[in-house]
Amino acid sequence: MGQKGFFTDTTLCIGCKACEVACKQWNQLPDDGFHFTGMSYDNTGALGASTWRHVAFVERPVPLTGLTKGGIDFSWLMMSDVCKHCQRAGCLEACPTGAIIRTEFDTVYVQPDVCNGCGYCVVGCPFGVISRREEDGRAWKCTLCYDRLGEGMTPACAKACPTESIAFGDLDDLHARAENRVRKLHEQGMTDAYLYGKDAENQPGTGGLNAFFLLVDKPEVYSLPPDPVVPTMKGKRTWGMVALGALGMAAMAVGSVLLGREARS
Q: Is 166 annotated as a binding residue?
A: no
Name 110's bridge partners: 100
Q: Is 110 annotated as a binding residue?
A: no
Q: Is 108 annotated as a binding residue?
A: no
Residue 80 φ/ψ, nearest 5 degrees = -90, 105
Q: Is 233 annotated as a binding residue?
A: no
Q: Is 187 annotated as a binding residue?
A: no
Q: Is 19 annotated as a binding residue?
A: yes
Residue 233: name the closest of 200, 194, 210 by CA: 200
Q: Is 212 annotated as a binding residue?
A: no
d(CA 9, CA 81): 11
Q: Is 13 annotated as a binding residue?
A: yes
Q: Is 161 annotated as a binding residue?
A: yes
Q: Is 125 annotated as a binding residue?
A: yes
Q: Is 16 annotated as a binding residue?
A: yes
Q: Is 190 annotated as a binding residue?
A: no
Q: Is 23 annotated as a binding residue?
A: yes
Q: Is 70 annotated as a binding residue?
A: no
The answer to whether 37 and 25 are in contact (CB under 8 A) is no
Q: Is 121 annotated as a binding residue?
A: yes
Amino acid at 102: R
d(CA 235, CA 232): 5
Q: Give Cβ neighbours of residue 148 (< 8 Å, ≥ 6 apart).
A: 26, 154, 155, 156
> Radius of gyration of the chain from Cα atoms?
23
Residue 210 φ/ψ, nearest 5 degrees = -80, -15
Q: Is 204 annotated as a binding residue?
A: no
Which residues does the annotation place in the binding site for [4Fe-4S] cluster? 13, 16, 19, 23, 83, 86, 91, 95, 115, 118, 121, 125, 142, 145, 157, 161
Which residues does the annotation place in the binding site? 13, 16, 19, 23, 83, 86, 91, 95, 115, 118, 121, 125, 142, 145, 157, 161
